[in-house]
Amino acid sequence: MALLAKIFALLFLLLAVYCAVDPFKHSSIAEFPNFVAHKVEMYPWSELPTERDSKNLLQKSEIKFLNQVQGPESIAFDPLGRGPYTGLADGRIVFWNSQSWTDFAYTSPNRSELCNPQASALAYLKNEHICGRPLGLRFDKKTGDMYICDAYLGLMKVGPEGGLATSLVTEAEGVPLKFTNDLDIDDEGNIYFTDSSITYQRRNFIQLVFSGDNSGRLLKYNPNTKETTVLVRGLQFPNGVSMSKDKSFFIFCEGSLGRLRRYWLKGEKAGESEVFAILPGFPDNVRTNEKGEFWVAVHCRRSIYSYVCGLYPGLRKFLLKFPITAKIQFLLNIGGRLHGVLVKYSPEGKLLQILEDSEGKVVKAASEVEERDGKLWIGSVLMPFVAVYQLE
């Protein structure tokens, strides 16, 4: 027994040395020598929402436009009700004209054959900085202009006729935007948007997830003065943004922490932020329906594995040094398989509804959900389709 214990101790020592040195550069963070794992200050496991959709209602969704769109992250309809419009992995923003998809706009002036159709959304990652990668989309209902968060090119705008988008913001306080993500617009035309990280670009989003990087920012752009202000800094993967119905506040997502935060624009709390809701997993975008309720697209539920790794960054970095691909490490973090989750909250932050496909049979991932005419239009940065769910 003593010999066996010594053998196990030796094997563990060798494994620890291997992980510390990573001699063959097979780990998922091998290409990031300055990788830092940050602690994710989460709520106790017992406080995470336990409600589930036991019927897996999202499996009733209709898959539309299969293989016609790659990675349709954000879904938008213009002020005349036309659409949807969506941004794709190849850098284009396209428009459904009721019969077919047509090109509407693009963000990069440097498009080339590198942006031609690929087999999957992930196949575009290495060239996204060249082709552009439009993420959050919003229309100004007064002007018809579309505002765009391009992950690499910053905050942009294109007119109602489309074409090449105009750059509005590429830096704030002298720090370049590195992962511009989502936005919304208030009644005065001010744009509130997120920069998910000043360390990692979108093509390294998996490493951003692994690190718990806390360099994300929430920003405001004033189109009249052309000034950009940092409202909140030190955020861990800030993402979706959505105004309340009365425009007194907006909600933004904190991806790593798995929660929604409210930022007050009016009243005695103006300029302050507070926790709005704790989510069952990792949020992407949030959108407001006509009733003022908030639909949140959740990439996946938080697993006990990701919870423990979040609390103990040293352990997380040790495990990331294993000779395991980033894809496998990512699957470990999300519980073994892709599974889409949608949650709806009241304007007061009360959980109203959960829809999910826990088996990942139909809606494997969700990046955004837009409610329109009794239907949920579901986009995904990973999938080659748009899913549509008929509300009951």
- Strand duo 386-390 + 375-379: pairing: antiparallel
pLDDT of residue 27: 87
* pLDDT tens for each residue of 17-35: 555 556 656 788 998 889 9
* pLDDT tens for each residue of 239-271: 999 999 999 999 999 999 999 999 999 999 999
Residue range 103-131: mean pLDDT, rounded: 94
Q: How far is 182 from 203, CA to CA, in rounded Å?
A: 16
* pLDDT tens for each residue of 117-127: 898 999 999 99
pLDDT of residue 6: 57
The confidence band for 386, taking pLDDT boundaries of 50, 70 and 90, is very high
Minimum mean pLDDT range among 99-103, 153-157, 247-251, 324-328: 324-328
pLDDT at 133 over 80: yes
The confidence band for 392, taking pLDDT boundaries of 50, 70 and 90, is confident
CB 155 within 8 A of CB 166: no
Residue range 307-328: mean pLDDT, rounded: 94
Residue range 2-12: mean pLDDT, rounded: 58
pLDDT at 157 over 90: yes
Q: In what order do the strands lie in the sheet with 180-185?
A: 180-185, 191-195, 216-222, 227-235
Q: What are the boundaries of each domain within the chain?
A: 1-31, 34-390
* pLDDT tens for each residue of 183-238: 999 999 999 999 999 999 999 999 999 999 999 999 999 999 999 999 999 999 99
pLDDT at 180 over 80: yes
Level-2 CATH architecture, domain 34-390: 6 Propeller (2.120)
Q: Is the dihedral of CA 316, 327, 183, 127 positive or negative?
A: positive
What tokens does 106 get?
């693009």
pLDDT of residue 25: 66
Q: 226-235 contacts: CB < 8 A, separation 24 or more? A: 228/169, 228/171, 228/172, 229/172, 230/172, 230/173, 231/192, 231/263, 231/271, 232/263, 232/273, 235/194
Mean pLDDT of the chain: 94
Please state, for a pLDDT cut of 90, what percent of the chain lies above it: 89
Burial degree of 272 (CB within 10 A; 0-12, 13-18, 19+): exposed
DSSP conformational letter for 224: T
pLDDT at 11 over 60: no
